Structure 1
Amino acid sequence: MSIESMVADASQPKSRRVWYRQLWVQVLVAMALGVVLGHLYPDAGKLMQPLGDGFIKLIRMLIAPIVFCTVVLGIAKMGDMSKVGKVAIKALVYFEVMTTVALVLALVIVNLWQPGVGMNVNTAALDAGSVKMYVDQTQSHGTVGFLMDIIPSTLVGSFAEGNVLQVLLISVLLGSTLVAIGPRAKPVIQLLDIGSEMLFRAVAIVMYLAPIGAFGAIAFTVGRYGAGALASLGNLLVCFYFTCLVFVFLILAPVCKFLGFSLFKLLRYLREELLICFATTSSEAVLPRMLVKMENLGCKASVVGLVIPTGYSFNLDGTCLYLASVAVFLAQATNTPLDIYQQLLLLCVLLLTSKGAAGVAGAAFVVLAATLSTVGSIPVTSVALILGVHRLLAEGLVPTNLIGNAVATIVVSKWEDGLDEEQMHRVLNRE
């Protein structure tokens, strides 16, 4: 049985699927109920947080073994390490170009919009203790620390911690070993194939809980932050969401058109994953499904297995938009002068620090603190200003990350002559 048959996808004809049994409908209804509960009964909404966190934890426990099986099988079946190297290099080149574009776009828009101008925030009056644990984490996550963290202390430890980059390194190493062994490695490959099928069946079971997870996450967000956060920092939120939309529809859409398909059809195909990302503010929650759906879209399995996990750390377009926008916003809010040269320095630092956003606890918020600490001109304690709306900002950056990685997978597949375009158009057109 193929992997595609294990996880329900949006490409199935509507005649074969009752509307209320479609995952995206259930998630949308659950999100609406979560908004109502969080708005009318904020205290009850806050109590729903374990539902969202529990769903994410269930998915996270499966991510490491799924990435391992997918990457090892992809390399082993590719049978040529030179091809693996070519795919990796092309993916990294594309990632670097797109994240640079995202950072430049965000800097331009936030300088024109100026959401922080006039706030005149006194950093001495901010609660530095509320962000102390985030600032402390920045000390151990510089560029060298990030690179060293890719190497696990033990093989088992990387799986226990769920560090995707460490698992990816082990997967490439062991997959290459199986290629070197040759025909004698066939029993191991068959065993991994069975293990992969088992894991994707487990994902299919866990995804039945996605509406419950979405309900809990949205109810908590609305109950915890509500209209107060929107009122105090609404200009920043509008500016950031606008920046995300500009990036998706004015940067990624032309890339899709150049490749011969519609971004809107791709968004429709990934609507379930986007809704789950928006509700849970975690792209990890849909990583296993993305592996399946991009392969089902016509992308070569070996390319998908390398690009998607790598992109989760090196192609975070939404995170780059967040880091650049919020860093300049904090400078504006605290009346910290930033000339063109200081912003270029900020851009260079962000090109490095953004790559580690998926490798630390607290993700984008910790990396933001690390960036401010490295640049030095913007007070690090100013991050306390956006602590209350970080989750609301994450509801924009996480879906943007997902869309960026989906487009990247298609680009690299096309670049590597590993894209079945007929299959892609059949799926996107729901034929």
Structure 2
Amino acid sequence: MSVRSTAFIPAVFKNLTFWVLIAIISGVLVGHFTPETGKGMKVVGDIFISIVKVFIAPIIFLTIVLGIGGMGDLRKVGRIGLKALLYFEVVTTFALGIGVAAAIIIRPGHISRAGLDINDASDYTSKAQQAFDWWEFFKTNITLQALILAIIVGIALNYFSQRERIVATLYKISGFVFKLLKLIMWLAPVGAFGGMAYTVGKFGLQSLLPLGKLMLTMYLTMAIFIFLILGAILRFYKIRIMDLIRYLKPELLIVLGTSSSEPALPNLIHKLERMGCSKPVVGLVVPTGYSFNLDGTSIYLSMSVIFLAQLYDVHLSFTQILTIVGLLMITSKGAAGVTGSGFVILASTMTAIHSIPMEGLGFIIGIDKFMSEARAVTNFMGNAVATIAISKNEGDFVDREHSLNIE
């Protein structure tokens, strides 16, 4: 064996991407061949996500406070915030429209109902019949609470005479938190294994065939959105979408394995700063985008509603479709980056629509977990592109040679 080949082996084993990929494949095999064992792995994936979620609130708080306080210019904060919200609203609305258009053109709801099992949806259906309470949502959503508190503290910090000293201290705390999280992320393969083993063990592969058309339609639509829509936005700023995907490959695999974009949020912040986005823009746009810029969730919600209408042969007029899109423009902003949140928002939206039978949610729950990977990846890429676009637009992007090749 040559010196070159022996040097290559340790590098592979030290690569987190390699272990996450191995974990995903192992999880699928365990879930398929030993379903009961696979179902028992749910707790493993849940524990990993729970550990990472402990870091989410402090990281959002620190990045936003440093983003606002580090600028020292509230007018710039307001300008970036306004640009971000405008961008989020336009792109997510466009995503909703694409979801509706794809469902109407491909008609995934015109499939056989044979083999569909809705028994596991009873708990979700009962929750869906409860009115959506925004105040309750706010009280239980620590991400949104951290976001609002950070904005208030960041603005107030600009009026302190010791602002620079406080900001320097917060930077040190932020650095420590990120280093600690970097160590925790080596548990990502364990979380990815647990999530995939449970998914395949619980629902199997054969039972999902009747809903394959919906899954295929959704994955295809989200791929088109990423490569064409997000790709066009990046192309405008002279960046290729494939270069960004390669740069964020380890984080994308973590998102794919855990079906959640939250575990990759800290690494996304770090990598966007390393590739040239300014720290203040990253600190404002990324955490805010995780609550308000959910492109994948928007596509999932609009397509699922149209799918269920087709499944029950419910004719929706153009006015009704516009009403649904308008409603989803509001409810989709309430979906966090946590696994399963998209289904909860779908249930809440269905409650308000009335014209489509609520039991239709049972057809979605069987494959919701499989579609959550596509949702999470699209949400993740959407926030990465949004941050780059706003940073470029602000003139706060530092072009670094080979920045997308940084590992």
* Shorter-chain TM-score range: over 0.9
Query: Is it true that 1:315 corresponds to 2:293 in the alignment?
Result: yes
- After the TM superposition, which residues 297-376 of structure 1 pair with which residues of structure 2 at under 5 Å, given as runs? 297-358=275-336, 362-376=340-354
C-alpha distance in 1, partners of 2:280/2:405? 24
Structure 1's 273 and 137: CA in aligned 2 closer, same or farther, altered over 3 A?
Answer: farther
Structure 1 contact 283–402 (Cα < 8 Å) conserved: yes
Tell me how far 1:359 sits from its aligned partner: 8.4
Query: Is it true that 1:38 corresponds to 2:17 in the alignment?
Result: no
Structure 1's 215 and 16: CA in aligned 2 closer, same or farther, altered over 3 A?
Answer: closer
Which amino acid counterpart does residue 249 of structure 1 have in structure 2?
A: F
- After the TM superposition, which residues 71-110 of structure 1 pair with which residues of structure 2 at under 5 Å, given as runs? 71-110=64-103
Aligned twin of 1:50? 43
- TM-score (normalizing by structure 1): 0.87
State the Cα deviation string for residues 103-130 of structure 1 (Å, max 9, x = none).
1111111111111125479x9x977733
Tell me how far 1:375 sits from its aligned partner: 2.1
Tell me how far 1:58 sits from its aligned partner: 0.9
Identity %: 40
Query: Is it true that 1:400 corresponds to 2:378 in the alignment?
Result: yes
Aligned twin of 2:143? 164
Structure 1's 30 and 171: CA in aligned 2 closer, same or farther, altered over 3 A?
Answer: same
Structure 1 contact 126–382 (Cα < 8 Å) conserved: no
State the superposition RMSD in angstroms. Answer: 2.3
Tell me how far 1:178 sits from its aligned partner: 1.3
Q: Aligned with 2:356: secondary structure?
A: coil
Structure 2 contact 125–362 (Cα < 8 Å) conserved: no
Tell me how far 1:186 sits from its aligned partner: 3.6
- After the TM superposition, which residues 260-271 of structure 1 pair with which residues of structure 2 at under 5 Å, given as runs? 260-271=238-249
Query: Is it true that 1:177 corresponds to 2:156 in the alignment?
Result: yes
C-alpha distance in 1, partners of 2:260/2:96? 21
Query: Is it true that 1:21 corresponds to 2:14 in the alignment?
Result: yes
C-alpha distance in 2, partners of 1:29/1:359? 24
Query: Is it true that 1:274 corresponds to 2:267 in the alignment?
Result: no
Tell me how far 1:229 sits from its aligned partner: 3.3
Aligned twin of 1:5? none
Tell me how far 1:19 sits from its aligned partner: 2.1
Tell me how far 1:187 sits from its aligned partner: 3.6
C-alpha distance in 1, partners of 2:283/2:190? 29
Query: Is it true that 1:427 corresponds to 2:403 in the alignment?
Result: yes
Structure 1's unaligned 5+ residue stretches are: 1-13, 153-160
Q: Aligned with 2:158: secondary structure?
A: helix
Aligned twin of 2:132? 139
C-alpha distance in 1, partners of 2:221/2:235? 20
C-alpha distance in 2, partners of 1:204/1:335? 50
2:109 to 102, 107, 116: 116
Aligned twin of 2:233? 255
- TM-score (normalizing by structure 2): 0.92
Which amino acid counterpart does residue 315 of structure 2 have in structure 1?
A: P
Aligned twin of 1:157? none
Which amino acid counterpart does residue 174 of structure 1 have in structure 2?
A: V
Tell me how far 1:340 sits from its aligned partner: 1.7
Aligned twin of 1:197? 175
C-alpha distance in 2, partners of 1:359/1:264? 23
Tell me how far 1:220 sits from its aligned partner: 0.9
Q: Aligned with 2:70: secondary structure?
A: helix
C-alpha distance in 1, partners of 2:299/2:218? 8
Count of residue pairs brought into register by the alignment: 399
State the Cα deviation string for residues 194-242 of structure 1 (Å, max 9, x = none).
2112211110110111111111111111111111332121111111111
C-alpha distance in 1, partners of 2:84/2:229? 18
